[in-house]
Structure 1
Amino acid sequence: MDLDDELIELRRQIHRHPELAGEERQTAGLVAEQMRAAGLEVTTGVGGHGVLAVLDGSADGPTVVYRADMDAVDAERNVLFIPRSDRVFDDGFASRVPGVAHLCGHDLHTAIGVGVAKTLARSSGPVPGRVVFVFQPAEEPLKGARAMLDTGLVQKLRPRESYALHCAPFPSGTIVVSPGHGLPGLDEIRIVLPAGDAAAVAAEVAELGTVEFPRSVADYHARFHSVLEQHVPESVSVGQWTERTSDGQPVVTIMLRVWPQERLPELRVRIERIAARAGGHVEFAGEPFPALVNSAELSTAAGQYLSATTGPESVLWARASWPYNCEDFALFLKEAPGAQFYLGVADAESGMNGAPHTRDFAADERAIGYGVRAMAGLLTHRLTAQGTSTSLPGV
């Protein structure tokens, strides 16, 4: 069995046995077993069920991080703002865990991370530095990256750059590079009202939004592809719902996804004014979660390398940030600059939409091998580039 086939089977094993955020015991154990078998130094239980696997090459070379996430989602509650279709793609190896599924592609991300590690470990020449493979739990609630980083183990290895992939509804065999763009930050805010109907307050908050949520899978596809065609300097998406406190007070809970991050203070002030006019008050859940910002220089360098090695037709260039999701790889990028790429996993001919967080999400598994070869080559290239340059970043 060649490596591509091994990784497809690994992906299917993870896909059949999905685990929610914070419960990734089986997936983490499987990853750790694969990493030890490949000869990497493995640490488990990092920030929960996180796995840290270190591939040592040249002792005096630089260090880069490659991150993959492992958690699945609640298949009923964690479907993105899109009406559920009647059809669910039959991939032949569906989840065996009721109500839990890999609808965001983290099973593919994990298989690709394992594949990159195996490829580099099996390479004929020495790796010109060190690669730290981070298999992260609890990405969906935006908790796993912080938990792993709070252990200090990643920082101790002094990485200079960080990279990751995420599935997306682009054609299989393509990769999207987003220099200077990324994903919005997230702010959770509660408006507590004295009494009465919260509908007017909710409507006023909704007017802060500059982008509407997609209304169908086709709309989702079209908007995702629009990032290739238009530069949108600012975007605000507003998610909200109304509840009541134990003593009956109406509460409007707001989830703001904002790009760029610098707009958040202004929006907080505007929401406070809306609450004050209604006689209510605002409660902030904490500090906003940071936006994921790809390094413009390193993203461009990666895109140039991938275009040269895989063909310019395989590399797409984003001109805007996708406004509807957040991603806790943002915290790794704050420790060491780098980029998250979109890996195309859609295959229209076979009905695989490649659209994460949709009920009928399905991915072309041939994209796994493409992602492995692209990332293994890129990481080797980046280590070589850093090792021959005293500046950071280097091209």
Structure 2
Amino acid sequence: MRTTANPEEELRRLFPEMVEWRRHLHRNPELSFQEKKTSAWIADRLRGFGCEVREGIGGYGVMAVVRGALPGPAVALRADIDALPIEDEKTVAYRSSVPGVMHACGHDAHTAALLGVARYYTDNRAALTGDRVLLFQPAEEVAPGGAVAMIADGALGGVDAVYGVHLWSPLAFGKVATKAGPLMAAVDDFYIDITGKGGHGALPHQTVDAIVAGAAVVQALQTIVSRSVDPLQPAVVTVGSIQAGNAVNVIADTCRLGGTVRTFDEGVRKLVKERLRLIVEQTCALHGAGMKLDYREGYPALVNDAREAARFFEVAPRLFDREQVEEAEPVMAGEDFAYYLREVPGCFLFVGAGNEACGAVHPHHHPRFDVDERGMLVSAALLIALADDYAGSDKTGRGNGAAEPQPAG
């Protein structure tokens, strides 16, 4: 069920504003847990549209409710609003004005697209079935993330289903994709501090070389996936940082390693954590070095509800040519949208944003990252179609259930 005969036409009318909003956000990025001005700016736009607005949800999160004239379920739609600590190297008029901070993952476009959805729904609430709960979430990029705090503050109170999109530069503009079940990986990080005994580089027998111990740990960790994990189960163990020493003729007494673990299955996740701990402990002991392991469990795997993924494959071909609708391959990147999917049924989607013609060729988190802004139109149309289809197919008789954020617990 659609709220009007042609939402795509209305979104095209709103598109110039969506581009303006996105470029404003791109010029004025804020890091995770620091999105104070961004949050206020979003809330001002939403109030101007006529939404009911709650600020301070889960920190700098914003929650808006558009109440339909017709009874029905409450459907939540989510966008993330934070930027990354990366210097913007693009030569465009909307380049970041904040040194060392930029929207290098598309969150500015996610936000602008959801603002377009908000405007569309407020303009058409007389034909709207149920409520639409619009979640503008802070701190997606940094664990523990903003989703957990928003949920604790009641952002999903009364919500029956939830959808979110990610503009995805590896996917060509015009394509949309998702899959049932696991789509994005669980994300854990680890930091290993190795303590040896420093000394002169010419007298290694009088030392305990922290770098040698660290190198052995790095090598040994590679056996976790190759020799401990079921070959049919995806897993990644990456050491991305090693810091030790400051002179060529001095044996370092400390070495710090940092890395990440990516898994889909919770059993594999537990196995990798335990194997990593044992390898670090025993390898350092073998070299006579001390160690301290800081293992930080992050976002769980993002698992799409099977029925809501099926809804995507029913709805998307009505909007786009069938060849534009794809089943996504799982990716080892993480997303804290996973927490919403643990609470209510829903689906997370990839919307193509890559296009060589407009310079959208760089990967996410790259200093020259950009998107084909028309992906915002695709995102907004898809979110509306999914939400309206859910509301139109809902047979439970549920009313407008998202009146207020619910208290934690």
Per the TM superposition, whether the score is higher than 0.5 is yes
Structure 2 residues without counterparts, runs of 5 or longer: 1-11, 197-208, 227-231, 246-251, 399-409
The 8 Å contact of residues 128 and 387 in structure 1, kept in 2 or not, is answered as no
Specify the SS of the correspondent of 2:33.
Answer: coil
Over 3 Å counting, the alpha-carbon distance change for 1:239 and 1:119 in structure 2 is: farther
Q: Are positions 1:99 and 2:107 aligned together?
A: no
Q: Are positions 1:123 and 2:128 aligned together?
A: no
C-alpha offsets along residues 123-172 of structure 1, whole Å, 9 cap, x if unaligned? Answer: 27422111111101111103211222222x223x3212111111112121
Q: Are positions 1:204 and 2:220 aligned together?
A: yes
Residue identity matched to 1:384: G
C-alpha offsets along residues 224-245 of structure 1, whole Å, 9 cap, x if unaligned? Answer: xxxxxxxx85232424423479
Deviation at residue 272 of structure 1 after TM alignment: 2.3
Compare CA radii of gyration and give the structure with the larger one: 2
Match of 2:375 among 336, 349, 367: 367
Residue identity matched to 2:67: D
Deviation at residue 326 of structure 1 after TM alignment: 1.2
Question: Matches of 1:329 and 1:236 in 2, distance apart?
Answer: 21
**Larger deviation: 104-113 or 23-32?**
23-32
Deviation at residue 262 of structure 1 after TM alignment: 2.8
Residue identity matched to 1:158: G
Match of 2:83 among 72, 82, 106: 72
Question: Matches of 2:74 and 2:253 in 1, distance apart?
Answer: 54
Q: Are positions 1:172 and 2:173 aligned together?
A: yes
Q: Are positions 1:31 and 2:42 aligned together?
A: yes
Structure 1 residues without counterparts, runs of 5 or longer: 80-87, 211-231, 391-395
Q: Are positions 1:242 and 2:242 aligned together?
A: yes
Question: Matches of 2:46 and 2:347 in 1, distance apart?
Answer: 23
The 8 Å contact of residues 161 and 336 in structure 1, kept in 2 or not, is answered as yes
Indicate the residue corresponding to 1:386 in structure 2: 394
Question: Matches of 2:357 and 2:256 in 1, distance apart?
Answer: 46
Indicate the residue corresponding to 2:149 in structure 1: 147
Match of 2:266 among 251, 254, 261: 261
Question: Matches of 1:334 and 1:389 in 2, distance apart?
Answer: 23
- What aligned pairs does 1:234-383 form with structure 2 within 5 A after superposition? 234-243=234-243, 248-278=253-283, 279=285, 283-318=293-328, 320-323=329-332, 325-353=333-361, 355-383=363-391
Indicate the residue corresponding to 2:67 in structure 1: 56
The Cα RMSD (Å) is 2.5
Deviation at residue 289 of structure 1 after TM alignment: 2.8
**Larger deviation: 358-367 or 119-128?**
119-128
Q: Which runs of 4+ in 1 moved over 6 A?
A: none
Residue identity matched to 2:166: H
C-alpha offsets along residues 32-58 of structure 1, whole Å, 9 cap, x if unaligned? Answer: 111112221100111211101011115
Over 3 Å counting, the alpha-carbon distance change for 1:354 and 1:304 in structure 2 is: farther
Over 3 Å counting, the alpha-carbon distance change for 1:346 and 1:287 in structure 2 is: closer
C-alpha offsets along residues 276-298 of structure 1, whole Å, 9 cap, x if unaligned? Answer: 32215563445443111112221
**Larger deviation: 185-194 or 114-123?**
185-194
The 8 Å contact of residues 239 and 257 in structure 2, kept in 1 or not, is answered as no
Match of 1:46 among 46, 57, 60: 57
C-alpha offsets along residues 221-279 of structure 1, whole Å, 9 cap, x if unaligned? Answer: xxxxxxxxxxx85232424423479x954343332111233311111221122123221
Specify the SS of the correspondent of 1:19.
Answer: coil
